[in-house]
Structure 1
């Protein structure tokens, strides 16, 4: 088994509000389950996140709400952190956006500037004539020049293609659609992406088998034509001031912060684990050979898979590149897109007041948007989680409790062990092997893992409860919940406590087991 440190990255959420269910259904759940799986195997893991305060989406949201962006960021950081804790997302650290964050980002980019990696370029940018400011990223919307769908500035969420500078069609302000938007010239720093074409092609030739089809398709489309220059600075007021003499008064493009931000988050999380390192970038240095794993939405593939990778490559071998990129599609709410501005949203904290989180986690796994858009339905959650998980699990738990009582055996009493057959040991290992396949990155799938839980519950409920096979059933229940433990975190903890044993991703060789109280779900 590899002992490389696994750096699990969930892309930092924008701090313009709390997390809704759609946020959790994609990268956060997927990253959490994989991190828990690796820990169960004994791998060293650093799983981290933070907030992306520099995004212009923060500024746009604050203006629409009549708040200061600083106030919105501060509240959002606390709300997001609490939601992640409440959902059982096992982050080793949720980093603050502070002076250390800003210094870490500046260290990363100033080294590239000193090495001559950036170029000055005159570009046309959308401009608000009324307010006298440039409109970029979350401040401007229009139509994507590639797929002609409604898009924000910088990137189209629908097709995944960038729309830099003046490429957005019919641009308008996201804060005030009546504002007159023109274009004005500005001189900014850019990263010439074409200079990294051959290295990007080589990277994706090597990693192709570890990527989902939609990611491969987008990367192929992007690399089939000239790569647009990536803006390093913008002439706007919100963000980290750029320290470059050529672009005085400008700020870093928020997307440039992505890689140094997650390096900083990694260092912060490692400190929470008791580790101390030379600086915020150390764990990412090539000599440490960490395995970096991204969990991202499809709409982030261009930035994280190309521009951010190019920024790493621009450091000429100093840092590791990501081993695997696991992307997901959009998650809808009642067959329509989540929309905070339109009030079509379900916040995770509100759902947690009504439904036990294991049932939520199970439903999010079953309906995970791995390869295409999927849908959250409140009725669907009750039906699917109830019929496919809670009812069969509770039926099995009650049958086991009755069988133990009928035998006059008290659960947890030392010396009252039940025999386990060789066939049961073989079946348990077969089940755990299937779970491991679901959790390994080569075929990572929360949906298949959740379906496996259902299938095995059905099988175990069909087993005849003969007294001489009761030990086999307890042993296989233990194996099932071990495999399900990265998803059903509360049930797994209760089973482990009731049985007095650690849950493992490989079936232990046991010839007898003591019966244990099997907790119910949803009580």
Structure 2
């Protein structure tokens, strides 16, 4: 048995009143409803509200007047008001000296009520590329072309969709790349940012939300504000932690500043996640860690104190996420290993020299920033007036599902860290629809690598070939569900057999239906769709197959001259 006391709750100003969400309590994420304490000060009223949830408002003290869609009802202590989904309401407290205290319990209805408004929104995420270098074709064959095709297909099905990407400005890989080249870090970041945006534009890869943290002061202040409000509300605790430190270089070892081997599979990795098995390791977990700046092993320990995400506190919520979301086998195996080993506590800030400054000389961890950035940027897209944490969480209630396109090396963040943040914020576990995860795209048998300059750069390939041909080949050759290998000879041989201008072949009704099904989020198989549409020897005349091919190529009409 547990008890919850309104007297001890942390309250925050929101919607013209004071509220204390139950997400501040441990272990309540698994409840089939959400709840909050509400206090309406004397002689005041709540801001007008209208939400998709059904709400049961139990008046505990005082006397309130509910104005519901223009109809007023006076309610005394001991009475409950059931608000249906979509009903616009304001709660008034006319008393001059007594607050109204309400327990609000709310949940999503099983089916949307008739006339409830717009259908739920699908949010599609692709990880923001780090501007430590330009984009290579491995990046494009992984998440970026695929996410763009999926968004086009979703909109063709009539689904409201928000596509989200940006630039991962605050990874210290930017600093490491600048140091290796003898360049100024901000100058290098700005140069690569322009090159990345240019490639997206040339390939017709568009985003409804595209964040560039370094160039957007409002974004930077917003993510810090949302972090502070999450801590104040008790959603993210503050704890002490220890990480290895390099005394000669004078810095904490994390992300690009440390290298070692994965304690799980033995693969080489930096701090963060392993490209081999997807496991998460801070610098303290690595086998034989060393500082990448001077090459020496850690020479000390850095004691820190800051907000953390204790994932073990949200185990039940995460289990619900993983049971219902569409996850590929390798991600499920990663999750199983995490459950066996124990869910980690993830520091959300570090004492370091790159990133968004927060309190006590720390800077936001770039992945924590990304989670907060998604909350902010999508929330603002859905409600341009959103400012506070509660405003953004309310805006996110209109999101029906979230799909992320990524490589295995980012799977921990999208399958574990971000859902853990959603749990802390009280968002529903059904939010994550699933992950579409690609394998590695190799070049002449070896992994593409920006740091080793082993790559075919996207801008170079686009200088030789039309964008629609490049897109179509990267769809056809996408590394799913197995790794594939790019060679110039193969690119020229495959694309040379296609009709000019590029158009769909003579496709049977069954192959067209198969291609269409392959572009659904829960069965996404882009290479299969491309081979259905481009596999025939003779050119076709468009039709449904031609419409599907335009989603792959980015060309708005079949047969338009390039």
More strand by share: 2
Once the 2 structures are TM-superposed, how far is the Cα of residue 108 of structure 1 from its aligned partner?
2.4
Inter-partner Cα distance in structure 2 for 1:153 and 1:382: 38
**What aligned pairs does 1:262-277 form with structure 2 within 5 A after superposition?**
262-266=374-378, 270=381, 276-277=384-385
Once the 2 structures are TM-superposed, how far is the Cα of residue 242 of structure 1 from its aligned partner?
2.0
2:302 pairs, out of 185, 192, 198, with 185
Once the 2 structures are TM-superposed, how far is the Cα of residue 336 of structure 1 from its aligned partner?
0.7
- Is contact 1:50-1:265 (8 Å) kept? no
2:362 pairs, out of 221, 232, 250, with 250
- SS in structure 1 of the partner of residue 341 of structure 2: coil
The match for 1:139 is 257
RMSD: 2.7
The match for 1:499 is none
The match for 1:278 is 386
Q: Closer, same or farther in 2 for the Cα pair 1:372/1:361, shift >3 Å?
A: same
TM-score normalised over the length of structure 1: 0.78
The match for 1:483 is 548
**What aligned pairs does 1:161-180 form with structure 2 within 5 A after superposition?**
161-177=279-295, 179-180=296-297
The match for 1:322 is 432
Q: Closer, same or farther in 2 for the Cα pair 1:107/1:138, shift >3 Å?
A: same
Inter-partner Cα distance in structure 2 for 1:105 and 1:370: 34
Inter-partner Cα distance in structure 2 for 1:284 and 1:29: 31
Per-residue CA distance 1:81-130 (angstroms, 9 max, x = gap): 11111111122342221211212211321122112344444444222221
Q: Closer, same or farther in 2 for the Cα pair 1:482/1:204, shift >3 Å?
A: same
The match for 1:436 is 516
Per-residue CA distance 1:131-174 (angstroms, 9 max, x = gap): 22112111110111111111101221211111124111211222
- Is contact 1:432-1:480 (8 Å) kept? yes
- Is contact 1:55-1:239 (8 Å) kept? yes
**What aligned pairs does 1:205-244 form with structure 2 within 5 A after superposition?**
205-207=323-325, 210-243=326-359
- Is contact 2:512-2:532 (8 Å) kept? no
Per-residue CA distance 1:36-75 (angstroms, 9 max, x = gap): 1112223222212111111111121122222232222222
Inter-partner Cα distance in structure 1 for 2:250 and 2:502: 62
1:12 pairs, out of 128, 131, 154, with 128
Inter-partner Cα distance in structure 2 for 1:265 and 1:374: 34
- Is contact 2:278-2:334 (8 Å) kept? yes
- Is contact 2:321-2:432 (8 Å) kept? no
1:447 aligns with 2:489: no
1:157 aligns with 2:266: no
Inter-partner Cα distance in structure 1 for 2:502 and 2:225: 52
Inter-partner Cα distance in structure 1 for 2:332 and 2:560: 43
The match for 1:466 is none
- Is contact 1:144-1:168 (8 Å) kept? yes
1:112 aligns with 2:222: no
1:196 pairs, out of 314, 336, 346, with 314
Q: Closer, same or farther in 2 for the Cα pair 1:42/1:394, shift >3 Å?
A: closer
The match for 2:486 is 376
1:69 aligns with 2:134: no
TM-score normalised over the length of structure 2: 0.73
- SS in structure 2 of the partner of residue 181 of structure 1: coil
Q: Closer, same or farther in 2 for the Cα pair 1:68/1:478, shift >3 Å?
A: same
- SS in structure 2 of the partner of residue 110 of structure 1: helix
Once the 2 structures are TM-superposed, how far is the Cα of residue 176 of structure 1 from its aligned partner?
3.4
The match for 1:343 is 453
- SS in structure 1 of the partner of residue 302 of structure 2: strand
Q: Closer, same or farther in 2 for the Cα pair 1:311/1:396, shift >3 Å?
A: closer
Per-residue CA distance 1:378-404 (angstroms, 9 max, x = gap): 1111111222x237968979xxxxxxx
Inter-partner Cα distance in structure 1 for 2:250 and 2:505: 67
- Is contact 1:186-1:235 (8 Å) kept? no
More helix by share: 1
Gaps of 5+ in 2: 1-117
Per-residue CA distance 1:295-327 (angstroms, 9 max, x = gap): 121111111211111111101238973222211
- Is contact 2:321-2:429 (8 Å) kept? no
The match for 2:107 is none
Inter-partner Cα distance in structure 1 for 2:311 and 2:231: 15
Q: Closer, same or farther in 2 for the Cα pair 1:13/1:193, shift >3 Å?
A: same
Tell me: higher relative CO, structure 1 or 2? Use CA pairs within 8 A at least 6 residues apart: 1
Once the 2 structures are TM-superposed, how far is the Cα of residue 431 of structure 1 from its aligned partner?
4.5
Inter-partner Cα distance in structure 2 for 1:396 and 1:143: 48
Q: Closer, same or farther in 2 for the Cα pair 1:319/1:221, shift >3 Å?
A: closer
Q: Closer, same or farther in 2 for the Cα pair 1:345/1:449, shift >3 Å?
A: same
- SS in structure 2 of the partner of residue 326 of structure 1: strand
- SS in structure 1 of the partner of residue 426 of structure 2: coil
Q: Closer, same or farther in 2 for the Cα pair 1:310/1:395, shift >3 Å?
A: closer
